[in-house]
Amino acid sequence: MAELIVHQEKIPDLSQVVNLCPFGAIEVNANRVSISPACRMCKICIKKGPPGAFELVESRLAEIDKTAWRGIAVYIDQTEGDIHPVSLELVGKACELAGKIGHPVFALLAGHRLAALTEELRHYSIDTISVYDHPQLEHFRIEPYTAVFEDFINRCKPSTVLVGGTAIGRSLAPRVAARFRTGLTADCTFLDMQPNTDLDQIRPAFGGNIMAHIRTPRHRPQFATVRYKIFSAPQRRDAATGEVIVATPTDAMLASRIETLAAHRKEPVKNIEDADVLVVAGQGIQRRENLDLLQQLAERLGGMVGGTRPVIEAGWLEPRRQIGLSGRTVKPKLIITCGVSGSIQFVAGMSGSEKIIAINIDPDASIFKIAHTAMVGDVCEIIPELLNTLAKGDNVHV
Partner 1 sequence: MRILVCIKQVPGTTQVDIDEKTGVLKRDGVESKINPYDLYAIETALRLKAHWPEATTLALTMGPPQAEQSLREALMMGIDEVALISDRAFAGSDVLATAYTLSQAIQAIGDTGIILCGQQTTDGDTAQVGPEIAEFLDIPHATNISAIPECQANAVTVQVDLPTTEETIRLPLPCLLSVNKGIHTPRLPSFKRKKETREVAVRRMTLADFPDTDPDHYGLNGSPTNVVRIFPPEHHVTRETWEGSSGELAGRLCTYLRDAKFLV
Distances (CA, A) of 201 to 33, 37, 141, 213: 33, 26, 29, 6
Q: Which is nearer to partner 1, 116 or 269 (CB)?
A: 269
Using CA atoms, how far apart are residues 272 and 329, in angstroms rounded to an integer?
9
> What stretch of H or E contains 252?
helix 251-254
Instruction: Work out which of 181, 251, 270, 395 binds partner 1, going by CB under 8 A.
Output: 181
Q: Is 156 exposed, middle or buried (0-12, 13-18, 19+ CB in 10 A)?
A: buried
**Are 221 and 68 contacting, i.e. CB atoms less than 8 angstroms apart?**
no
Residue from 217, 283, 295, 352 that binds partner 1 (CB under 8 A)? 217
Size of the site for partner 1 (CB under 8 A): 120
Which one, 100 or 369, has the nearer CB to partner 1? 369
112-134 in b/e form (b: 16+ CB < 10 A) is eebeebbebbbbbbbbbbbbbbb
Residues 190-219, interacting with ligand FAD (CB under 6 A): 207
Please choose, out of 4-12, 167-175, 176-184, 321-329, the segment that lies near ligand FAD by the rule CB under 6 A: 321-329
Question: What letter represents residue 97's amino acid?
Answer: L
Nearest to ligand FAD of 105, 336 (CB atom): 336
By CB atoms closer than 10 A (0-12, 13-18, 19+), residue 152 is buried
Q: Find the binding residues for partner 1 in span 152-171 (CB under 8 A).
A: 166-168, 170-171
Q: Least Å distance between CB 91 and ligand FAD? A: 25
Could you give the CA distance from residue 228 to residue 349 in angstroms, rounded to a whole number?
Answer: 10
Distance from C-alpha of 126 to C-alpha of 244, rounded to nearest angstrom? 10
Of partner 1, ligand FAD, none, which one sits near residue 365, judging by CB under 5 to 8 A according to partner kind? Answer: ligand FAD
Binding of partner 1 by 38 (CB under 8 A): yes
Q: Is 368 in the site for partner 1 (CB under 8 A)?
A: yes
Of the candidates 345, 138, 113, the one whose C-alpha atom is nearest the C-alpha of residue 259 is: 138
**CB of 260: closest distance to ligand FAD in angstroms?**
31
Per partner kind, with CB cut-offs from 5 to 8 A, the member of partner 1, ligand FAD, none near residue 334 is partner 1
Subset of 39-68 contacting partner 1 (CB under 8 A): 39-44, 47-48, 59, 61
The DSSP letter of residue 199 is E
- By CB under 8 A, tell whether 135 contacts partner 1: no
- CB atoms near residue 396 (< 10 Å): 6
Picked from ligand FAD, partner 1, none, the partner binding residue 284 (CB below 5 to 8 A depending on kind) is ligand FAD
Rounded to whole angstroms, the Cα distance separating 77 from 85 reads 8
For residues 327 and 349, is the Cβ–Cβ distance under 8 A?
A: yes
| Residue whose C-alpha is closest to residue 331's, from 11, 100, 85 | 85
Residue 308 binding result from ligand FAD, partner 1, none, given CB thresholds of 5 to 8 Å by partner type: ligand FAD
d(CA 28, CA 35): 9
Segment 277-306, which members bind ligand FAD (CB under 6 A)? Answer: 282-284, 286
Q: Is 380 in the site for ligand FAD (CB under 6 A)?
A: yes
Nearest-approach distance from CB 301 to ligand FAD, in angstroms? 19
Closest CA to 78 of 168, 213, 174: 168
The answer to whether residue 390 forms part of the interface with partner 1 (CB under 8 A) is yes
Q: Does 270 bind partner 1 (CB under 8 A)?
A: no
Binding flag, residue 370, partner 1 (CB under 8 A) = yes
- Per CB under 6 A, contacts with ligand FAD among 325-364 are 325-327, 339-341, 343, 345-346, 349, 359-362
Residues that bind ligand FAD (CB under 6 A): 207, 282-284, 286, 308-311, 322-327, 339-341, 343, 345-346, 349, 359-362, 365, 378-380
